[in-house]
Structure 1
């Protein structure tokens, strides 16, 4: 699929995602190019919902679109969370965090009554193959990397919360086992593996057609 077709699908999915938002809702927005398009589509609709942003870039996109932002630090629950993904496998596992905001995205998704993952068809794969994004604690970073010999630090600034970004070249035959190992690794703040029980709804664009898939 060419870049132009991917962009067209992304825009179609984002517009459909904006249609899920009703005025008065509290909505969590993730991060990335698809979410920026969702924010623009919501602004074009004149949405009177209120939004939390998982990253400074999303906050900028939301305010530029004229959306009303809430303070995530003092907001406990959301009606809906909208975010994209780098890959979604046939078994329901997803990789997120190409943009480095996966820790905040996971927190907001966990606080939402409903999460809809918004993707174009190119993000659907038979099985996961991307490196797994990591956010690492900068303290004793060398010791953490000793436990993760196949992790490569990104040439990227610290996250909004001061974490260090890395990518793990890992065997993804059993994503659940890998996620459990990463969860138990000291120094790993969070990883980009999202389980099927989290990614239960997909809004997928196939060309100009968009379908909502529920697992």
Structure 2
């Protein structure tokens, strides 16, 4: 089975968790087919454009202070629920909506499962003091990619990721780091991983209220 087929199967399984009247971060064709009444927020302009084309109701994330459910992908998924996100350079927004959700659901194809997280870890950095920030966090490289939706510089951390709690704390505390792409298990409620035609569902945490 192709990766694209697995992504579709995982999305369709996760979409079944969405109920009429919910506020959701985003999920596109699988949700559009269900015809529910939803209030959606997109974490990137590209996602917003695609959602609008499917007649999903997309609102600015200004007055909304919580979501019933957020559904998103991941670049790496460890067995204990730790994630690496940020391949699309929107991990700051993605972490904000994940933290604002009662239930954060991750969907992925089988290639995203890893036995342990590994570098690189995406970073969003301020342009101000960029060289000093990169020296502080060495080894870090700038990514040949557009800036984040909010104008941040996208980079990747290439150092060891053996101590995830320690690394997450180090990156969060470093001046000039807007956000990093390590997502802890405490954010994650469910993971749906498609393997061919089947979908594995792993529950990592209770829904937050």
Contact map agreement 1:13 1:119 (CA 8 A) in 2: yes
Q: Does 1:14 align with 2:14?
A: no
Shift of 1:173: 0.9
- Does the CA contact (< 8 Å) of 1:40 and 1:61 recur in 2? no
C-alpha deviation, 1:191, in angstroms: 0.3
TM, length-normalised to structure 1: 0.91
Normalising by structure 2, we get a TM-score of 0.93
2: CA distance between counterparts of 1:174 and 1:42? 37
Q: Structure 1: state its 5+ residue gaps.
A: 30-37
Q: Decide which of 172, 197, 213 is 2:202's aligned counterpart.
A: 213
Q: Compare 18-27 and 42-51 and name the one that shifted more.
A: 42-51
Q: Which runs of 4 or more aligned residues in structure 1 lie more than 6 Å from their structure 2 counterparts after TM superposition?
A: none
Residue number in structure 1 paired with 2:78? 89
Matches within 5 A, 1:150-169: 150-169=139-158
CA contact (8 A) 1:28 1:80 kept: yes
In structure 2, what is the equivalent of residue 27 of structure 1?
Answer: 24
Q: CA deviation at 1:91?
A: 2.6
What SS is found at the alignment partner of 1:202? Answer: strand
Deviation per residue, 1:16-57 (Å, 9 max, x gap): 12222112100012xxxxxxxx40121222232110011111
Q: Name the count of aligned residue pairs.
A: 204
- After TM superposition, the structure 1 = structure 2 runs for residues 179-190 of structure 1, keeping only pairs within 5 Å, are 179-190=168-179
Residue of structure 2 equivalent to 1:35: none
Query: Does the 8 A contact of 1:42 with 1:65 survive in 2?
Result: no
8 Å CA contact 2:119, 2:160 repeated in 1: no
Whether the aligned pair in 2 keeps the contact of 1:183 and 1:190 (CA below 8 Å) is: yes
Tell whether 2:98 aligns with 1:101.
no
Question: What are structure 2's unaligned runs of at least 5 residues?
Answer: 205-209
Q: CA RMSD in A?
A: 1.2
Alignment of 1:51-62 (within 5 A): 51-62=40-51
Q: SS where residue 191 of structure 2 aligns?
A: strand
1:95–1:132: 8 Å Cα contact kept in structure 2?
Answer: yes
